[in-house]
């Protein structure tokens, strides 16, 4: 049976997730400056989540929540998520936190493009206008022809936006059948296996303080992933994604307190355009959802209940 949405709880969980996610990227950036490479960071981010969750579930006697009939779906989600993690880590290491965070806000824009170009659904003037406005904001931040931000950092930030758009719907689908903590565990488990292949090439010795940083990355990342997954279990994608913009507050605060960096003037101009575009898209999606007739909603629910649980 489909679980009823709880919007206030979903929004609260998503805001908390953004605090933890911003903290994770702050620690990643700091660890990167201490000599930790992106591939090694990816492995420890995932492996430490596996260890933390396994020990906690064993201690509480809740190992049964990891049971799933959708192993292949979890593996596919992990493959997509690991690529997204690489983009996010690279953006955090190559760019100031505020800029990296702002580029991640392009996810709703790419969701519209995917809807129009791949899913072949009709996209109206409001959403196309939002896409144009959002990418205008990206151009402003990139500063072409002047002193542009690093190209690799820009590519990583935009790549993260593309993948987040896809992952949100994957998670929404998985949490219809599996517990949020199971989704987090299997993502970390399969992700650590995938990234372990690169570990012999990139792993280096570390001091105790760097290991503590890596432990903090794993802890903050695990908490963020759990909160993100839980928010999508209790609310619609369009509703909870609006809260992702609060991450810019924490990224700016960390950048100022730790690196004495404030967003550039172009970021202050471009970020509102990207955020505004995202809010237009989210608002439009919510309005379209409310226009679904009761009969259509019943038919959609019936189809969902009839779908095999292993898909």
Q: What share of the chain is helix, strand, coil (3-state, %, to 5)?
A: 80, 0, 20
pLDDT 10s digit of each residue in the chain, 311 long? 456 677 788 888 999 999 999 999 999 999 999 989 988 999 998 998 899 889 989 998 889 989 888 889 889 888 988 998 899 899 999 988 888 888 888 877 887 777 777 766 777 787 788 888 888 888 888 766 555 677 888 889 888 888 887 777 777 778 788 887 888 889 889 999 999 998 888 888 889 999 999 999 989 988 887 888 788 777 776 667 778 888 888 999 999 999 988 888 788 888 888 888 878 877 776 676 665 433 333 332 322 222 233 33
CB 174 within 8 A of CB 70: yes
Of 290, 250, 248, the closest CA to residue 106 belongs to 248
Measured at the CA of 2, the angle between CA 188 and CA 127, to 5 degrees, comes to 75
Residue 291: its pLDDT value, please? 57
CB 188 within 8 A of CB 51: no
Question: How many of the other CB atoms lie within 10 Å of CB of 303?
Answer: 9
Cα separation, 120 vs 294, whole angstroms = 24
Helix (H, G, I), strand (E, B) or coil at 116: helix
263 token code pair: 């967003």
Cα separation, 88 vs 103, whole angstroms = 10
What is the reported pTM? Answer: 0.76
- Tokens 């940083």 correspond to what residue? 213
CB 217 within 8 A of CB 28: yes
CB 41 within 8 A of CB 213: no
Alpha helical stretches, state H, 97-246: 97-104, 107-117, 125-142, 151-174, 180-196, 199-202, 208-234, 237-241
């Amino acid at each position: 049976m489909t679980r009823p949405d709880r919007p206030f709880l979903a929004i609260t969980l998503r805001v908390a997730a953004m605090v933890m996610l911003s903290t994770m990227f702050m620690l990643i950036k700091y660890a990167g400056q201490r000599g930790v490479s992106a591939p090694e960071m990816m492995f420890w981010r995932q492996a430490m989540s596996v260890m933390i969750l396994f020990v906690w579930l064993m201690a509480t006697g809740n190992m049964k929540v990891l049971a799933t009939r959708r192993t292949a779906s979890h593996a596919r989600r992990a493959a997509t998520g690991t690529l997204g993690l690489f983009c996010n880590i690279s953006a955090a290491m190559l760019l100031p936190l505020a800029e990296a965070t702002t580029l991640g806000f392009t996810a709703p824009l790419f969701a519209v493009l995917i809807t129009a170009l791949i899913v072949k659904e009709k996209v109206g003037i409001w959403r196309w206008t939002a896409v144009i406005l959002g990418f205008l904001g990206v151009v402003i931040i990139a500063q072409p022809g002047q002193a542009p931000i690093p190209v690799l950092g820009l590519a990583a930030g935009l790549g993260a936006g593309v993948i987040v758009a896809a992952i949100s719907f994957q998670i929404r689908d998985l949490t219809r059948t599996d517990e949020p903590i199971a989704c987090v565990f299997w993502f970390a488990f399969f992700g650590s296996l995938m990234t372990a292949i690169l570990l012999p090439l990139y792993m280096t010795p570390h001091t105790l303080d760097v290991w503590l940083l890596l432990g903090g990355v794993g802890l903050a990342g695990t908490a963020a992933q759990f909160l993100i997954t839980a928010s999508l279990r209790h609310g619609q994608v369009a509703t909870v994604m609006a809260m992702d913009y609060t991450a810019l507050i924490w990224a700016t605060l960390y950048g100022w307190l730790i690196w004495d960096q404030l967003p550039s003037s172009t970021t202050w101009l471009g970020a509102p355009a990207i955020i505004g575009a995202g809010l237009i898209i989210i608002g439009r999606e919510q309005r379209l959802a409310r226009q679904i007739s009761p009969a259509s909603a019943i038919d959609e629910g019936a189809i969902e209940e009839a779908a095999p649980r292993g898909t």
